[in-house]
């Protein structure tokens, strides 16, 4: 689950509510949570805030092995600092955006940036997933870059999350880097992505309909129900605002 982040009125993270949310999701059959991804509004939080939240959630009893974290920043040094810190807390899975804002970066530059993060962290415990969401970040991850990084770093570059919403893009990543565990962000594609060799999903809708997501992962024919749920959220002005409103109503 790309977990939503419950906030207090001052913008700080309500860590107790976040831990309760995680345990609720685990009870529904979810494998793990990713904190501070796109759905978690991760780019609005600095290194210290993200690390403090992880510490609090761990203290509340959420197992480290079931937590991943968004580690994307425009500054490479911030990605390194966050990743080192969470590895020290027992997490292994870090979702890495390419450094964003400069949309003219070349494929070589994007690869160099990821390499600088991995080399800077210098820890064999790392299991990084590259995060492809160009319609939001403005910086795409070329398929060749994904393949090259897997060849260079092996299991340290464990996966790639394709949130492009374009199934042909997912297929291109699978063809270019078949050893990567590729997850999809577009819930409607979960079933056919797994059938095509995908590793599963990291998605926002699992916050509110985890049973539907689990059913899709298990190969059940619930795509129509999932699309109806997606349509409810997408027809509103803000996915995040609506998602949080649904969570508030549910809890």
Q: What confidence score (pLDDT) does residue 21 get?
A: 98
Dig out the tokens for 34 from the structure.
Answer: 């990713």
Q: What confidence score (pLDDT) does residue 82 get?
A: 98
Distance (Å, whole) CA 28 – CA 211:
6
Q: What confidence score (pLDDT) does residue 13 get?
A: 98
Q: What confidence score (pLDDT) does residue 93 get?
A: 98
Q: What confidence score (pLDDT) does residue 85 get?
A: 98
Dig out the tokens for 80 from the structure.
Answer: 């390194």
Dig out the tokens for 163 from the structure.
Answer: 């949130």
Q: What confidence score (pLDDT) does residue 159 get?
A: 98
Asked if residues 184 and 170 have their Cβ atoms less than 8 Å apart, the reply is: yes
Distance (Å, whole) CA 88 – CA 82:
10
Distance (Å, whole) CA 202 – CA 54:
18
Asked if residues 40 and 4 have their Cβ atoms less than 8 Å apart, the reply is: yes
Q: Exposed, middle or buried by CB within 10 Å (0-12, 13-18, 19+), for 162?
A: buried
Per-residue pLDDT of the chain (251 residues; tens, 9 = 90+): 999 999 999 999 999 999 999 999 999 999 999 999 999 999 999 999 999 999 999 999 999 999 999 999 999 999 999 999 999 999 999 999 999 999 999 999 999 999 999 999 999 999 999 999 999 999 999 999 999 999 999 999 999 999 999 999 999 999 999 999 999 999 999 999 999 999 999 999 999 999 999 999 999 999 999 999 999 998 999 999 999 999 999 99
Helix (H) or strand (E) holding 149: helix 143-153
Distance (Å, whole) CA 141 – CA 135:
12
Q: What confidence score (pLDDT) does residue 11 get?
A: 94
Q: State the helix-helix crossing angle for 143-153 and 107-121, rounded to 10 degrees.
A: 30
Q: What confidence score (pLDDT) does residue 28 get?
A: 95
């Amino acid at each position: 689950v790309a977990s939503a982040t419950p906030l207090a009125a001052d913008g700080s993270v309500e860590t107790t509510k976040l831990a309760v949310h995680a345990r609720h999701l685990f009870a529904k059959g979810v494998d793990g949570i990713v904190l501070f991804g796109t759905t978690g509004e991760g780019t609005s939080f600095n290194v210290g805030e993200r690390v403090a939240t992880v510490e609090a959630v761990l203290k509340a009893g959420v197992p480290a092995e079931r937590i991943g974290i968004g580690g994307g920043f425009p500054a490479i040094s911030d990605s390194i600092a966050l990743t080192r810190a969470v590895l020290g807390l027992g997490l292994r899975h870090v979702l890495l955006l390419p450094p964003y804002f400069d949309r003219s970066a070349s494929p070589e530059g994007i690869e160099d940036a990821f390499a600088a993060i991995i080399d800077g962290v210098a820890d064999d415990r790392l299991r990084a997933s590259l995060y492809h969401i160009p319609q939001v970040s403005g910086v795409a991850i070329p398929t060749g870059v994904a393949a090259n990084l897997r060849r260079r770093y092996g299991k340290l570059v464990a996966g790639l999350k394709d949130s492009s919403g374009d199934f042909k893009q997912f297929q291109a990543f699978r063809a270019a880097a078949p050893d990567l565990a590729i997850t999809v962000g577009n819930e409607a594609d979960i079933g056919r992505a797994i059938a095509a060799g995908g590793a599963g999903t990291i998605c926002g809708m699992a916050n509110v309909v985890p049973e539907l997501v689990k059913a899709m992962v298990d190969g059940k024919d619930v795509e129509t129900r999932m699309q109806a749920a997606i349509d409810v959220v997408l027809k509103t002005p803000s996915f995040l605002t609506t998602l949080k409103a649904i969570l508030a109503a549910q809890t």
